[in-house]
């Protein structure tokens, strides 16, 4: 988790430095890079946090899910 976090920080710094040089000639390219960067960061952290939450809650929910499945089967 820490590696991913620091990876996004390093990529963000690289994009920031690159945007300084690209801002005058290609402003839309800079906006597109940052948009993709934010989308990738959002998707990655959403996936990670959802998996962590599911792993914590699954043992508690499993008996309830099995009972519902048995009720539906009967």
Read off the pLDDT of residues 8-61 as tens digits, 9 standing for 90 and up: 888 888 888 887 777 778 888 878 888 888 888 888 888 877 777 666 666 666
pTM over 0.75: no
Distance (Å, whole) CA 3 – CA 7: 6
* pLDDT grade for 69, boundaries at 50, 70 and 90: low
Domain residue ranges in the chain:
2-73
Q: What is the pLDDT of residue 4?
A: 75
pLDDT reading at 74 higher than 80: no
Measured distance CA(42)–CA(66) in Å, rounded: 33
Q: Do residues 11 and 37 lie in contact, with contact meaning Cβ atoms separated by under 8 Å?
A: yes
pLDDT score at 35: 84
């Amino acid at each position: 988790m820490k590696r991913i976090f620091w990876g996004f920080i390093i990529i963000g710094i690289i994009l920031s430095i690159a945007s300084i040089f690209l801002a005058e000639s290609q402003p839309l390219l800079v906006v597109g890079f940052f948009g993709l960067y934010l989308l990738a960061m959002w998707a990655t952290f959403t996936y990670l946090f959802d998996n962590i939450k599911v792993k914590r809650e699954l043992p508690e929910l499993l008996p309830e899910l099995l009972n519902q499945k048995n009720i539906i089967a009967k």
